[in-house]
Structure 1
Amino acid sequence: MHTEDTEEFLLPRSRRANERLHALIPGGAHTYAKGDDQYPEDLAPVISHGRGAHVWDIDGNRYIEYGSGLRSVSLGHAHPRVVEAVRRELDRGSNFVRPSILEVEAAERFLATVPTAEMVKFAKNGSDATTAAVRLARAATGRPRVALCADHPFFSVDDWFIGTTPMSAGIPAATNELTVAFPYGDLAATEELLTRYQDEVACLILEPATHTEPPPGYLAGLRELADRHGCVLIFDEMITGFRWSEAGAQGLYGVVPDLSTFGKALGNGFAVSALAGRRDLMERGGLRHSGDRVFLLSTTHGAETHSLAAAMAVQTTYVEEGVTARLHALGERLAAGVREAAAGMGVGDHVVVRGRASNLVFATLDENLQPSQEYRTLFLGRLLAGGVLAPSFVVSSALDDADIDHTVDVVAQACAVYRKALDAGDPTPWLAGRPVKPVFRRLA
């Protein structure tokens, strides 16, 4: 059982495992957002296993988990329909010298789910899909520049994006100069950018929505700008795909991009992503055209059968069980509870829940209502001690009302300590170590 005091909540096995991870793996994890620097010092659990909305660490603690698999496990861990679909393929082989029949079946299922797209190609991670979209846009337009939305945190591990972050070491300046940025929600600024770089911008790439809804007419306005300036409109639907609607944000808002990319929820933890879009663009990476060939996506494991089977099961489950609606309902219950708990403890202006109900994040603000890593550390530590692993409040459909109620109780306890720290004007006595750090920073 967890104690209320983080000083008594210890993770000795996880701490030793983290040392082993750092000794063998740069950063101690295969994704920077999973690094132990994102958690209070010596309180970064190393996971043993998960089921549904719960995970267990190697110290034997059970947690209600949010943001599962960086938003990828939206149905909960080891979901029976997904596991069974994968199990059926296990004895049938996973990768062949020619396409499996599953490749066409998975493509048919995807395009039925996202009918705004005409062709699809699968890969293993989102970065490959977004970079393929950028390459395709450059090939189709003959233009060098990429315009990305400056307000969205991540698009790719590849140079065209990472060069814009504080972690740009190893990327040539000449590459960085080819990426320009536009602000979300500001059509006038985007038009000014396209005019300044007239006939140079190959594409506009953005998440169609994040923690804020698109302003009325914004996405349609971007569509018109892209058409008028002759550039390709790309929606990164890694997060919005399925969480906003089964057909993504493009299906919800009724604005059709030229290309879009999906991942995360698509496989419920299995490695699969997708590039989808207009036939005339996508076919440039195929064999049925007379122009220059585009090396679109060609990955050894891109069509590995287990992940395609998982993706098909995920889409079926979403449609048949109304998963998107359930995610919204759970998120609304959680957001209301957290806001009430924070307000009740006098920190309603400091612990702030934001975003669409299916994709909630939280902000931790200091005495001056400024974002604070120190207060985030305090809050995360108290949640962990109460059995809640929550780098965000992004829900999975495996949560139930009891999970939400327990989470709200733990949040209330955390907020009581938060209030004490605010009154003292210094959270340091409650941290027991260095504060958590942002993922994107120049120095380790």
Structure 2
Amino acid sequence: MGNPIENFENSNRLRQRAHQIIPGGCHTYAKGDDQYPILSPGFIASGSGCHVRDVDGNEYIEYGMGNRAVGLGHAYPPVVKAAKAQLDLGCNFTRPSGLEVDCATAFLDIIKTADMVKFCKNGSDATSAAIRLARAVTGRDLIARCSDHPFFSTDDWFIGTTEMNAGIPKVIQNLTLGFRYNDLSSVQDLLTRHRGEIAAFILEPARNEGPKDGFLHKLQDLCHQNGALLILDEMITGFRWDIGGAQKAYGIVPDLSCFGKALGNGFSVSALAGKREFMALGGLEQTSKPRVFLLSTTHGAETHALAAAIATIKVYRNEPVISHLVEQGKVLTAAIGQIAVAHGVDKYFGVQGHPACLSYFTLDDQAKPSQAFRSLFLQETIRRGLIAPSLVVSYAHGKEDVAKTLDAIDAAMAIYKKALENGVGKYLVGRPSNVVFRRFNRLKLKTSADPVAENTL
């Protein structure tokens, strides 16, 4: 991929200013400086397809794809054209736009397990509305969330269960319980200990592994037998497992489900969908139960975002997007596995997950999960023109992109091997990255713009 990328002068200057005026230096924790090595681009200037350019003019093949929100590729022409056309007509009015009906129709045409849908701007809005609705339906307070799935919402009901729960009252924290994926005994244990108290179970349909032995269907049976709702969070699996979501792939009809991310190919739009008997509680026609304040956001149905969603859905319906994602993911999985074996690091580095939504694990010389080795892998692939916090492909990732990716990973694995033999501190510049959900910042965050960026491993 040419000369190693080592110049981040403009990024480092912006970093200094960003941390002075923005808590965390950005507006999404997963994009923060603590998630990347010191030698990394801090700010992206533009993107096209699966390629991005940082503020220093460095070019990369990207595999984060906007935290999985960009399924077709950056600035995908039909989607951008639809959004631009709508912007010329205005994006927000005093009364609803006809696009709200059009988009709901297009959405429900592909998510056939749902009867009604309501749009909003981000995934947290949708999942929190689902929680509120489940509590209203059941008259219960407790929520059970899958402890194996890392993120559901920025709201208190979920953040209170993490290490980063400062500012959330204990009484709120105690209302959310945890169960394990593919572990019905953990579900049954909660139902026994909190009989008649749990309003809903919420989980992703799949993560790094899929449901085993009919887990989702058996979970749903237990929910319904005990008067609880089943909520599927399809922020990631939607528009990757199947055009109809993982619920279609696995043949299950949830009570409520939440979509977002790739729904608008990067435009801000998400959705709460579900059965009419539940969703109608947030409407104007039912009179038998108290009204539910379901979702009401000034920007929830911005017309350009809905136009982008309609255009995105059209592409997914007319082109082989899902099959392309799966095919490229399978190629990456097989080839990277071979590269790891060739370098003798296959016990320490590997690819996991659904082909359309791959991640990787990094282990140290003791075969324990290591942020330092993760940072080293990121550092070395960034130097070679990749931004790969995950290995999530888009419709824009072609054969040439994948070939360049494999070359970069091959070279990075050679450094990984040396680090296993000689110590990661000899190769990683500065401090390692860190997990998002931590109670304290133990170390001062340094960037390569600091006078000294010493190792702190």
TM-score (norm 2): 0.95
CA shift for structure 1 position 222: 0.8
**For the Cα contact (< 8 Å) 2:122–2:268, is it kept in 1?**
yes
CA shift for structure 1 position 42: 4.3
In the TM superposition, what whole-angstrom CA distance separates every residue of 1:292-315 from its partner, at most 9, and x where no partner exists?
Answer: 000000010101100000111111
> Which aligned runs of 4 or more in structure 1 are off by greater than 3 angstroms?
1-4
Q: In structure 2, what is the Cα distance between the partners aligned to 1:244 and 1:17? A: 37
Q: 1:195 aligns with which of 192, 196, 199?
A: 192
Amino acid in the other structure paired with 2:222: L
CA shift for structure 1 position 3: 3.5
What does residue 178 of structure 2 align with?
181
Q: 1:252 aligns with which of 244, 249, 252?
A: 249
Amino acid in the other structure paired with 2:354: R
CA shift for structure 1 position 370: 1.0
Amino acid in the other structure paired with 1:353: V
**For the Cα contact (< 8 Å) 2:41–2:54, is it kept in 1?**
no
Amino acid in the other structure paired with 1:223: Q
State yes or no: 1:407 paired with 2:405.
yes
Calculate the aligned-residue CA RMSD, in Å.
Answer: 1.0
State yes or no: 1:320 paired with 2:318.
yes
Q: In structure 1, what is the Cα distance between the partners aligned to 2:17 and 2:341? A: 41
Amino acid in the other structure paired with 1:35: G
State yes or no: 1:211 paired with 2:198.
no
Q: In structure 1, what is the Cα distance between the partners aligned to 2:296 and 2:383? A: 45
- After superposition, residues 381-392 of structure 1 pair within 5 angstroms as 381-392=379-390
In the TM superposition, what whole-angstrom CA distance separates every residue of 1:56-115 from its partner, at most 9, and x where no partner exists?
Answer: 001111000002110001100000110111122121111111111000000000000101
What does residue 333 of structure 1 align with?
331
CA shift for structure 1 position 2: 5.1
**For the Cα contact (< 8 Å) 2:39–2:379, is it kept in 1?**
no
What does residue 373 of structure 2 align with?
375
What does residue 17 of structure 1 align with?
14
CA shift for structure 1 position 181: 0.6
Amino acid in the other structure paired with 2:360: F
CA shift for structure 1 position 192: 1.5
What does residue 436 of structure 2 align with?
439
3-state SS of 2:239 partner? helix
Q: In structure 1, what is the Cα distance between the partners aligned to 2:197 and 2:397? A: 47
What does residue 449 of structure 2 align with?
none
**For the Cα contact (< 8 Å) 1:11–1:43, is it kept in 2?**
yes
After TM superposition, the structure 1 stretch with the greater mean CA deviation from structure 2, 298-307 or 41-50, is: 41-50
3-state SS of 2:47 partner? strand
3-state SS of 2:205 partner? coil
Q: In structure 2, what is the Cα distance between the partners aligned to 1:372 and 1:255? A: 37
Amino acid in the other structure paired with 2:358: L
**For the Cα contact (< 8 Å) 1:73–1:264, is it kept in 2?**
yes
3-state SS of 1:148 partner? strand
**For the Cα contact (< 8 Å) 2:141–2:198, is it kept in 1?**
yes
Amino acid in the other structure paired with 2:388: A
- After superposition, residues 115-264 of structure 1 pair within 5 angstroms as 115-264=112-261
In the TM superposition, what whole-angstrom CA distance separates every residue of 1:287-341 from its partner, at most 9, and x where no partner exists?
Answer: 1111100000001010110000011111110110021111001111111121111
Gaps of 5+ in 2: 442-457
Q: 1:266 aligns with which of 257, 263, 271?
A: 263
**For the Cα contact (< 8 Å) 1:2–1:385, is it kept in 2?**
no
Q: In structure 2, what is the Cα distance between the partners aligned to 1:73 and 1:166? A: 29
CA shift for structure 1 position 151: 0.3
**For the Cα contact (< 8 Å) 1:150–1:181, is it kept in 2?**
yes
Q: In structure 1, what is the Cα distance between the partners aligned to 2:41 and 2:157? A: 32
Amino acid in the other structure paired with 1:119: M
Q: In structure 2, what is the Cα distance between the partners aligned to 1:437 and 1:249? A: 30
Q: 1:28 aligns with which of 6, 25, 32?
A: 25
CA shift for structure 1 position 10: 2.8
Q: In structure 2, what is the Cα distance between the partners aligned to 1:146 and 1:188? A: 17
3-state SS of 2:391 partner? coil
CA shift for structure 1 position 429: 1.0
What does residue 101 of structure 1 align with?
98
Q: In structure 2, what is the Cα distance between the partners aligned to 1:310 and 1:50? A: 17
3-state SS of 1:60 partner? coil
State yes or no: 1:365 paired with 2:363.
yes
State yes or no: 1:39 paired with 2:36.
yes
Amino acid in the other structure paired with 2:316: Y
Q: In structure 2, what is the Cα distance between the partners aligned to 1:2 and 1:98? A: 54
3-state SS of 1:48 partner? strand
What does residue 350 of structure 2 align with?
352
Amino acid in the other structure paired with 2:92: N
3-state SS of 1:325 partner? helix
After TM superposition, the structure 1 stretch with the greater mean CA deviation from structure 2, 239-248 or 187-196, is: 187-196
CA shift for structure 1 position 284: 0.2
CA shift for structure 1 position 17: 1.0
Q: In structure 1, what is the Cα distance between the partners aligned to 2:123 and 2:367? A: 34
Q: In structure 2, what is the Cα distance between the partners aligned to 1:260 and 1:154? A: 15
In the TM superposition, what whole-angstrom CA distance separates every residue of 1:181-200 from its partner, at most 9, and x where no partner exists?
Answer: 10110112201211110010
Q: In structure 1, what is the Cα distance between the partners aligned to 2:187 and 2:354? A: 25
CA shift for structure 1 position 216: 2.3
State yes or no: 1:297 paired with 2:295.
yes
TM-score (norm 1): 0.98
Amino acid in the other structure paired with 1:342: A
